[in-house]
Structure 1
Amino acid sequence: MERPPSAPPSSSHARQRMDWNLLRTFLFVVQERGVGRAAAVLHLSQPAVSQALRRLEESVGGQLLVRRHGEFRLTPLGEDVYAIACEVYGTVARIDAVAAGHQDEVAGPLRLLVMSRIHSLPYDEFLADFHRRHPRIEFQVEVMPSSAILDALAKRQPGLGICLCRKPVEGLNRRLFMRQRYVVVCGRHHPLFSRGQVSLHALQDQDFVRFASDQIGDTLSPLTIFRDQRGFTGRIVGTSSNIEEIRRMVIAGMGLSWLPEHMIVRDIEAQLLRRLPPDEGVAEIDVFFVWNAQRKLTAPEAAFRSAFEAFLRRTPLASRAF
């Protein structure tokens, strides 16, 4: 009897050696657009990430990335492997959800202290999935300034936090949730809104609307440092700890300000705001998931922390701020 044709040795060899960790590393390198940044997110050394890329290329039998002289692009093979890696990631996420569904049911209140305007579709999907798995957990979400969240958690008040945390706080654990790039903007009533080309020099004497925490030593102090280093001389005409009120004052034309880039996409499309130089933005500010390491967590808190940390491990940093 004639035997069916077998798969080519190279394909069989690739299947036997294929490792999800290699695909996952490749996924992070592509989404972080570099080995160095991927290594930082994965808490690995750059040589370890580079070695994983080489092993994956050996497994699939071809080059996946072109990285030279500042160039970073996927090869045609790399495009196909990246698409497959995204599909595998989705499957792994579903496995996590199925496994969690067999855990004991948890019930009770869960207090979340969050800063305003957390824009993250992956986080929204995480919350939906968490609620499906734990329908008897009652969410109590309070929007507060980051400084107030850190103060409450440091005092061992019940709850978990999502906020800015520029430097470690004694007694608190933190995990990097998302990275927000702040950019300079003006509103539709501002004189610069309708000007053709705007240089960075044109911003130096403009008035500003600032966050209450935009001070040296506070959570948004990189914005202060940028303004001082660039020699901006305009007045501070408005201050608020609420990002919605900052946005409102900017749209009203009171002055320029800095806002997270991913939050203002629709405002720019609607011609409510205009993005101004510099093109690379002003600063990257990190948002953290925070809890008190010295206070015993309740069952709902422990379930949320465990699930959220799993979400952070499987979701590349670059894809969280959307």
Structure 2
Amino acid sequence: MPPSRPDDHAFDRLSHDLDWNLLRTFMVIVQEGSITGAAARLYITQPAVSLALKRLEERLGRRLIDRGAGKFRVTAAGDVVFNEVVEVFGAVSRLGSLVRDVKEEVTGHVRILMTSRIQTDILDYVLRTFHQRYPQVTTRIDVMASADVHIALQQRVGSFGICLMREPIPGLTSEVLVHQTYRLYCGPDHHLFGKKDINLAELRHDNFVSFTSDQIDGALSPLALFRAREGFAGRVIGASANLEEVRRMIVCGLGIGPLPEHIAARDVDAGLLWELPPYEGIAPVDVHIIWNPDGRFNRAERAFIDELVGHVKGRPVEERVPSMKPRESP
């Protein structure tokens, strides 16, 4: 006797309650052409396979397979069910590869704490490609002194920064982003402007312009050590935490002062700055990516810092150099 046909309400319940294992068992029965073959393939007993088929037929209200002594025939209803189950099984089987191919959308806000005038193609490349990949992410760059970046990261006010660092900071992790060299310069009004073969001793009594972090315990301590070592006796007559303002004071003739060579290069070519000894430079001063490994990164910040550090790690020293971009006209 065939199973009773369910009414419309039963079909509605069926779409929610049907056991996928019953459908899969039925598919294997048809593929194997027998209850015995299906049991062997599924590693279950023949009675369990027969029971699964019976339960499916009862749920659908249709006989799916005519079976008896020496007889095994898939009914018209069974053909319909089999074809649909094969489609469903194929879709389920593809889920893994489909999910792997999907790029998870990253949203959120990236805040970068950074000292002024950091010029590096590496950072520019990561900013560009990261925005192209995750256009929904917003970005904010806060410019501040290196010491303020250090404090913000230690206090977990920020997640990561790009700045100068004199020595390792407890609790923070770092990676060198840019290797740069500081040199001494003067402006057009200085008495040594345009003069060649200058002796370092000629500078020792000149007024000096520098950075507020140009202290023995500051991020630019190599500059302070240089002045102390060479016996510079002039006054520090101008100072700023902002590189652009230090440059302005040097150009305007307040005193001689240090600048990264890649920043000063365009002004030298334009006749606004003149390089002074020592011609090998004062000191190398690296720019670091600094972050708190215990900081509370959002997904966007984590993705950005991973990408930026990933582009730097393993890169040779000679490739971690500033980008030489033309200065914009004032």
TM-score category (smaller protein)? 0.5 to 0.7
User: Judging changes above 3 Å, is the alpha-carbon distance between structure 1 residues 205 and 292 closer, same or farther for their aligned structure 2 residues?
Assistant: same
Measured after TM superposition, the shift of residue 235 of structure 1 is 1.3
Matches within 5 A, 1:290-309: 290-309=290-309
Matches within 5 A, 1:85-124: 103-124=103-124
**Cα distance between partner residues in 1 of 2:158 and 2:171:** 14
Q: SS at 1:188's partner residue?
A: coil
Paired residue total: 222
Query: Which residue number in structure 2 is paired with residue 57 of structure 1?
Result: none
**Cα distance between partner residues in 1 of 2:242 and 2:217:** 19
Q: Deviations over 1:183-235 (max 9, x none)?
A: 01111121110334311111111110011110111111111111111111111
Q: Deviations over 1:147-203 (max 9, x none)?
A: 001100100113320011111111111111111100011111211103343111111
Check whether the contact 2:194–2:274 (CA below 8 A) recurs between aligned residues: no
Query: Which residue number in structure 2 is paired with residue 4 of structure 1?
Result: none
Q: Identity of paired residues, percent?
A: 40
The residue type paired with residue 263 of structure 1 is I
User: Judging changes above 3 Å, is the alpha-carbon distance between structure 1 residues 183 and 102 closer, same or farther for their aligned structure 2 residues?
Assistant: farther
Matches within 5 A, 1:37-116: 103-116=103-116
Query: Which residue number in structure 2 is paired with residue 83 of structure 1?
Result: none
**Cα distance between partner residues in 2 of 1:145 and 1:280:** 27
Check whether the contact 1:208–1:256 (CA below 8 A) recurs between aligned residues: yes
Query: Which residue number in structure 2 is paired with residue 94 of structure 1?
Result: none
Query: Which residue number in structure 2 is paired with residue 128 of structure 1?
Result: 128
Q: Deviations over 1:247-277 (max 9, x none)?
A: 0000001100010011111111101001111
Check whether the contact 2:210–2:238 (CA below 8 A) recurs between aligned residues: yes
Check whether the contact 1:177–1:317 (CA below 8 A) recurs between aligned residues: no
Instruction: List gaps (5 residues or longer) in structure 1.
Output: 1-100
Instruction: Give the structure-1-normalised TM-score.
Output: 0.66
Q: SS at 2:139's partner residue?
A: strand
Measured after TM superposition, the shift of residue 102 of structure 1 is 6.0
Query: Which residue number in structure 1 is paired with residue 258 of structure 2?
Result: 258
The residue type paired with residue 246 of structure 1 is V
Query: Which residue number in structure 2 is paired with residue 197 of structure 1?
Result: 197
Q: Deviations over 1:264-310 (max 9, x none)?
A: 11111101001111121001111110111222321011101110111
Q: SS at 1:103's partner residue?
A: coil
Measured after TM superposition, the shift of residue 314 of structure 1 is 5.7
The residue type paired with residue 285 of structure 1 is V
Q: Deviations over 1:76-121 (max 9, x none)?
A: xxxxxxxxxxxxxxxxxxxxxxxxx963120011111000010113
**Cα distance between partner residues in 1 of 2:294 and 2:159:** 13
Q: Bigger CA drift: 270-279 or 186-195?
A: 186-195
User: Judging changes above 3 Å, is the alpha-carbon distance between structure 1 residues 297 and 206 closer, same or farther for their aligned structure 2 residues?
Assistant: same
**Cα distance between partner residues in 2 of 1:150 and 1:219:** 10
Query: Which residue number in structure 2 is paired with residue 242 of structure 1?
Result: 242
Q: Deviations over 1:13-37 (max 9, x none)?
A: xxxxxxxxxxxxxxxxxxxxxxxxx
Check whether the contact 2:178–2:288 (CA below 8 A) recurs between aligned residues: yes
Q: SS at 1:157's partner residue?
A: coil
**Cα distance between partner residues in 2 of 1:237 and 1:266:** 25
Query: Which residue number in structure 1 is paired with residue 146 of structure 2?
Result: 146
Q: SS at 1:192's partner residue?
A: coil
Pick the structure with greater CA Rg.
2
Query: Which residue number in structure 1 is paired with residue 285 of structure 2?
Result: 285
User: Judging changes above 3 Å, is the alpha-carbon distance between structure 1 residues 123 and 102 closer, same or farther for their aligned structure 2 residues?
Assistant: farther
Q: Deviations over 1:59-79 (max 9, x none)?
A: xxxxxxxxxxxxxxxxxxxxx
Q: SS at 1:171's partner residue?
A: coil
Query: Which residue number in structure 1 is paired with residue 183 of structure 2?
Result: 183
Measured after TM superposition, the shift of residue 318 of structure 1 is 2.3
The residue type paired with residue 254 of structure 2 is M
Measured after TM superposition, the shift of residue 315 of structure 1 is 4.0
Q: SS at 2:106's partner residue?
A: coil
Check whether the contact 2:212–2:239 (CA below 8 A) recurs between aligned residues: yes
The residue type paired with residue 139 of structure 1 is T
Query: Which residue number in structure 1 is paired with residue 274 of structure 2?
Result: 274
Q: SS at 1:288's partner residue?
A: strand
Instruction: Give the structure-2-normalised TM-score.
Output: 0.65
Q: Bigger CA drift: 126-135 or 222-231?
A: 126-135
Query: Which residue number in structure 2 is paired with residue 87 of structure 1?
Result: none
Check whether the contact 1:183–1:258 (CA below 8 A) recurs between aligned residues: yes
Q: Bigger CA drift: 177-186 or 292-301?
A: 292-301
What is the root-mean-square deviation in Å for CA atoms of aligned residues? Answer: 1.5
Query: Which residue number in structure 2 is paired with residue 58 of structure 1?
Result: none
**Cα distance between partner residues in 1 of 2:174 and 2:130:** 20
User: Judging changes above 3 Å, is the alpha-carbon distance between structure 1 residues 196 and 317 closer, same or farther for their aligned structure 2 residues?
Assistant: closer
